[in-house]
Structure 1
Amino acid sequence: MDSGYIFSQQLVNGLSLGSIYALIALGYTMVYGIVKLINFAHGDIMMMGAYAGYFVLVAMGPTPAGFCTAMFFAMLFSALLGISIERLAYRPLRNAPRLNSLITAIAVELILQNLMRVLPFVGPNPRQVPQIKLKPVYIGNLAVPGITFLVIITSILLMVILGHLVNHTKTGKAMRSVSYDMQASSLMGINVNKTIAITFAIGSLLAGAGGLLYASAYPQVDPMMGYMPGLKAFVAAVLGGIGSIPGAMLGGIILGVAETMVKGYGPSAYADAISFSLLIVILLIKPTGILGKKTVVKV
């Protein structure tokens, strides 16, 4: 193989991984943009969504219809879980110091991980995900594996839908208003609690989709599978500018491409270190992230 082909293959792999990071990072950045909360349980919502899709795939088989159904249930289950977590764990602490909410988020993360480890029909051991058989897609001389192409296309589609929802719908306008000024939005008749719940639902829905895509691309599920992708997605959100939806997308893609390039051309053991080093370098140059904006604190 020539170097150009290898580079193209690694670039496609990076786009696939980066699009998954971007989907998960969107949940981080949307929740932070609304309530200024870092939801560290977000990676485990991804894990729960992956398990929901896994059980559907096992029941229906790895067919296109089975995958679509699994995706629907993964997204639905994750959205309901996100709403429940917001209502039970975060809403009572909304006016409390931020440290309280942060500790609660870590507690929810540990609860979800250990709950899945002790459930008799899940358990701590990894499980093999049924792989849907897809023909490779040829782009010139480059053969892109079918599952890789599916991950990229599905992620792009979900990001486009999210962009339309946020920028061109009444719900999106309410979300942007609450993000700008929660109290003023409430005075203008916007149901703040409902808007925040919808934000958690959308962010969790995207995490569930990312979880199933991740489990399909790297065909295995286990209760700890959401930890590292969730952490990487948080890094991607900060890299792009926490609170910025385009920034989360860009940060995810940059992180995914950088990671796969290191694995392809350098010692793969340094892939994680390079990812976090990249974050440090970007923040040293631009502390708000690539597309982040400085916030003015009124006194």
Structure 2
Amino acid sequence: MTGEMFLQSLANGISLGSLYALIAIGYTMVYGILRLINFAHADLLMVAAYVAFYGMLVFTMPWWLSFLLAIVVTALLGVTIEKVAYRPLREAPRISVLISAIGVSFLLENLGIVAIGARPKSFPRPEEIVWNIKLGDISFLSLTIIIPLITIVLLVAVTYMVNKTKTGIAMRAVSRDFETASLMAVDVNKVVSTTFVVGSGLAAVGGIMWSLQYPQIDPLMGVFPGLKCFIAAVMGGIGSIPGAMLGGFVLGMGEVFLVALLPELSGYRDAFAFVILIFILLFKPTGILGENVVEKV
């Protein structure tokens, strides 16, 4: 591998890893509180992408206002899903909540197909935030710099919220024990709703950035990114916010360098993520930065 090829792959890997990390943080926040894998999280990417798309092209809104609207709508949808599909099953067996999450995911995907159509649409790229950068023989989009910066800023903000604010203290208390937290005057429902607002907002930002990086959207666009971001969260340690970011970067860099070093295996790029998941579950099921948690029956 030449030096130029290495730097080009490094830039691509950082960009892809940042996207995985951004979406994986939302997965791990919900799991950290509810011990629930929110499979609908991946489809919130799609919702955010379409809200931003129609905001810019149909309602001719400025790109920044469309993006803001997409984040707000997606956050509200996330809270609604929690109240309608998850909260009534909070005392039910875990398998019931898991089935509900899968059902919500299929519902969003099929509603998208029926209401919008399955044909892919081209996502507009605002010239103010997307342009080509050329450094010698290396060429990349401005998003290669913007996406990691946004991911780092959001990671710092979420980490500060969880560790330094009253809401974060309540989140950590609820993640340990619902009943004890409620006895200590913690509004469990409010904490869970706040978690879904933050997690869904992160999914919306991830969906917008994904659409800018890969400007083609369809109702099933969140399926594979969602699975890979779930793998990234498991790899880093599901429930650990820094672990989700680390797992996202490791997975993104691994995929890009696999294709760069072994181009004949490019068709197996998606399989690479699932192979990593199998090895993580076999040899370190808690993930890189995860900790052992005793599950309640």
What is the TM-score normalised by the length of structure 2? 0.93
Among the aligned pairs, what percent are the same residue? 49
Show the counterpart of 2:11: 12
Distance 2:3 2:63 in 1: 33
How far did 1:264 drift?
2.2
**Contact 2:20–2:229, Cα closer than 8 Å, also in 1:** yes
Structure 1 equivalent of residue 106 of structure 2: 110
Q: Which moved more, 1:10-19 or 1:133-142?
A: 133-142
- The Cα shift of 1:202 comes to 0.6
8 Å contact 1:166–1:175 — kept in the other structure?
A: yes
Where does residue 207 of structure 1 map in the other structure?
203
Write out per-residue CA displacement over residues 78-111 of structure 1, whole angstroms, 9 at most, x where no aligned residue.
1001000000000000000011111111110111
The 3 A distance-change label for structure 1 pair 297 and 100 is closer
SS at match of 1:287: coil
Give me the whole-angstrom Cα distance separating, in 2, the residues matched to 1:168 and 1:148: 30
1:160 equivalenced with 2:159 (yes/no): no
SS of the residue corresponding to residue 270 of structure 1 reads helix
Residues in 1 aligned to 2:124 and 2:59: alpha-carbon distance in whole angstroms: 10
Taking structure 1 as reference, are residues 272 and 205 closer, same or farther at Cα in structure 2, changes over 3 Å only?
same
Note the 1:131-170 alignment, pairs <5 A. 131-133=125-127, 134-137=130-133, 142-170=138-166
Say if 1:77 and 1:34 are closer, same or farther in 2 by CA, change over 3 A.
same
1:297/1:108 Cα in 2 relative to 1: closer, same or farther (>3 Å)?
Answer: closer
Amino acid at match of 2:48: G
Structure 2, unaligned stretches of length 5 or more?
Answer: none
One-letter code of the match for 2:147? V
Matched, 1:40 2:36: no
Correspondence for 1:239: 235
Task: Give 1:214 shift.
Answer: 0.3
- Give the Å deviation of 1:5: 1.4
Q: What is residue 79 of structure 1 aligned with on the other side?
A: 75
Q: Distance in 2 between matches of 1:103 and 1:23?
A: 25
The number of residue pairs the alignment matches comes to 293
Corresponding residue number in structure 2 for 1:28:
27
Q: Give the CA RMSD over aligned residues.
A: 1.9
Q: Is 2:236–2:247's contact at 8 Å kept on the other side of the alignment?
A: yes
Residue identity in the other structure for 2:17: G
- Aligned counterpart, 2:56: 57
Matched AA of 2:49: A
2:119 corresponds to which residue? Answer: 125
Contact 2:15/2:143 (8 A) holds in 1: no
Task: Structure 1 unaligned segments of length 5 or more: list them.
Answer: none
Relative to structure 1, the CA distance from residue 135 to residue 226 in structure 2 (aligned partners, 3 Å threshold; closer, same or farther) is closer
Question: What TM-score do the two structures reach when normalised by structure 1?
Answer: 0.92
